[in-house]
Amino acid sequence: MRDPDLPTTMAAWHQHRYGGPDVVEPARLPVPVPRPTDLLVRVRACGIHAGDARLMRGDPYLVRLAFGIRRPRTAVRGMDVAGTVVAVGSGVTALSPGDEVVAEIGVGGGLAEYAIIPAARAVARPDHVPAQLAAALPVSGGTAVQALDAASVGSGSRVLVIGAAGGFGTFAVQLAAQRGADVWALAGERALDLVTGLGAAHTFDYRQVQPGSPELPAASFDAVIDIAGTAPLSTLRALLRDGGTVVLVSGNGGPVLGPMERMLRAVFVSRRRRRIRSLAATAKPEILTQLLELTGQSGIHPVIEQTYPFAAARDALAHVDAGHAVGKVVVTVE
């Protein structure tokens, strides 16, 4: 069903080529039409993360094979959306116009007044979670849960989170601490107090302490969650106790393969009793439902460094693209 009063065009932030934030421009685009299994939502808030910046730049070149060689096929960035359903496809029965939902919508489309969400990915947003908080959850929070699960983190586990102050890292610290883990964290000096408040028992300035430093004893960790992606794989492996796991979430690399170079090397460096696993997180509505239930009720709080109005969405992308955001960045579209 589609409301006949819906407009035919919408405001959006559109990129016509790959590049830095300057390639993202305001535009009037047609309001998309949902397919039978889709929802059309009026976007209330859109979370921005490093994946949006990488797709904006087409970095590494490998991603262009999937998303467009010369320009992105999906020209509107923004994967994490909270909004109000305004139309549903003919095959959708579980949701109706007026429902408040949140979802990871895929490659992009969230930096617009209206966006398409596959109905199978949408989760009802509970009243106790505002749209701005909900939009911070899907990719970063979902990836954190999957990383901790991949390393079997539970009560009593000793966990090192490398890159603990970013959007993903702030979730990883909180969720690991909630599971009863002994959390150690590397972050920038200005964020150490924040990370401690999120549940880390031991925090270190990554400029002073790095994997291999005596402050991080060898063979002492059940899990290493590596978001920064700069330490040698053999050094990370040496941190593990017997049976431990390193989980690679991201990493640096060359312009062609990017983090994939490091993740491919991990296959050859991993050992049976000290594993190195590359994480390929996927959208899982059941995890998002869990995160929404935890938010605000069990001590899990998205750390939002800054909220930008829709008119300043390009500034939000630029801030994330610079690589120094503490926690999450959210654009309000209302």
Q: pLDDT (tens digit, 9 = 90+) per residue, 210-269?
A: 999 999 999 999 999 999 888 999 999 999 999 999 999 976 666 655 566 777 777 777
pTM exceeding the 0.85 threshold for the entire prediction: yes
Cβ distance 312 to 31 under 8 Å? no
Confidence of residue 324 (pLDDT cuts 50, 70, 90): confident
What is the average pLDDT across 291-311?
A: 91
d(CA 60, CA 42): 32
E runs forming strands in 89-217 = 100-104, 114-118, 123-124, 158-162, 182-187, 202-205
Residue, of 198 and 3, whose pLDDT is higher: 198
So what's the pLDDT on residue 255? 65
Residue, of 291 and 264, whose pLDDT is higher: 291
d(CA 295, CA 202): 24
Cβ within 8 Å of residue 193, ≥6 positions away: none
What the block records as the tokens of 193 is 């107090």
Which domains are delineated in the chain? 9-136+302-332 (3.90.180.10), 139-278 (3.40.50.720)
d(CA 198, CA 38): 36
Residue 197, Cβ neighbours under 10 Å: how many?
A: 12
Question: In a 3-state reduction of DSSP, which class is residue 275?
Answer: strand
